[in-house]
Amino acid sequence: MNHDHTPTQFEEFYRQEARAVYRFVYSRVGNHADALEVVQESFLALYRLKPGGEGGDCPDRALLFRLARNRAIDLLRRRRTRDAFGQEAATGNVLPFRIAEPRTPEDALLEKEREQLAAAALAGLSERDRECLALRRSGLNYREIASALNVNPTSVGQLINRALRRFADAYEALLGKKGTDEKAGKTRGE
């Protein structure tokens, strides 16, 4: 135990990475308490693998995210079926948005609709696409993403671009469907 309260290399690493890991895990599990548990388990597992205290090696960021990813997947498997996870994503529980307060009630409504469309578009993606986007959003570089997903680093850019394209296509399709539904509703109502 370090009695002089000087932070160890691992403690500094924790302070630097805990929020990013939490955001990534939360994007996977959609629940604050579960995300905190997975983050704690992941850091503990990393510490056991690479203590990184006084004189130890610097902890591995990509390995931390891989550990967090695997623990999140395990948690999801224990907690519910894959279909139930897709349902939760469609309701917006998996995509944590922090948006400034809208200026008008109309702005608030439009922002809420965009969030719902984005969550539904995200839910329609494959698990791998959602993971690629969540890891990139968490600030990992391509090498770290490759390590976390256990893929070739040269393929990460292509994986992310495909995931972004699929997300954009799904979002636009939902936006177009929403517009068509609104027009049909106005025609029936007039």
- What is the tens place of the pLDDT at every residue in 135-156? 888 878 888 888 888 888 888 8
pLDDT for position 181? 63
Residue type, 179: G
pLDDT for position 97? 47
pLDDT for position 3? 47
Residue type, 69: R
How far is 161 from 65, CA to CA, in rounded Å? 20
- Asked whether the beta carbons of 27 and 96 are under 8 A apart, the reply is yes
Instruction: Label each residue of 13-69 as H, E or C.
Output: HHHHHHHHHHHHHHHHHCCHHHHHHHHHHHHHHHHHHCCCCCCCCCCCHHHHHHHHH
For 37-87, the pLDDT digits (tens) are 999 999 988 888 876 544 455 678 889 999 999 998 888 777 654 444 455
CA atoms within 13 A on the CB side of 132: 23
Q: Give the pLDDT mean for 126-138.
A: 86
How far is 22 from 182, CA to CA, in rounded Å? 38
pLDDT for position 18? 92
pLDDT for position 94? 54
For 154-168, the pLDDT digits (tens) are 888 898 889 888 988
- Asked whether the beta carbons of 118 and 95 are under 8 A apart, the reply is yes
pLDDT band, very low/low/confident/very high, at 19 (cuts 50, 70, 90): very high
- Answer with the residue of higher pLDDT: 94 or 117: 117
- Asked whether the beta carbons of 138 and 65 are under 8 A apart, the reply is yes
Give the relative orientation of helices 61-79 and 9-29 as an angle to the nearest 10 degrees. Answer: 40
pLDDT at 128 over 80: yes
pLDDT for position 84? 45
Mean pLDDT of the chain: 78
* Percent of the chain scoring above 70 in pLDDT: 72
Q: Which two three-digit tokens encode residue 113?
A: 């609709």
34's CB contacts (< 8 A; 6+ apart) are 75, 79
Residue type, 46: L
User: 10 Å Cβ neighbour count for 102?
Assistant: 13
How far is 73 from 65, CA to CA, in rounded Å? 12
Q: Give the pLDDT mean for 157-185.
A: 80
pLDDT for position 58? 64
Instruction: Compute the CA torsion angle 125, 129, 132, 136 (nearest 10 deg).
Output: -40
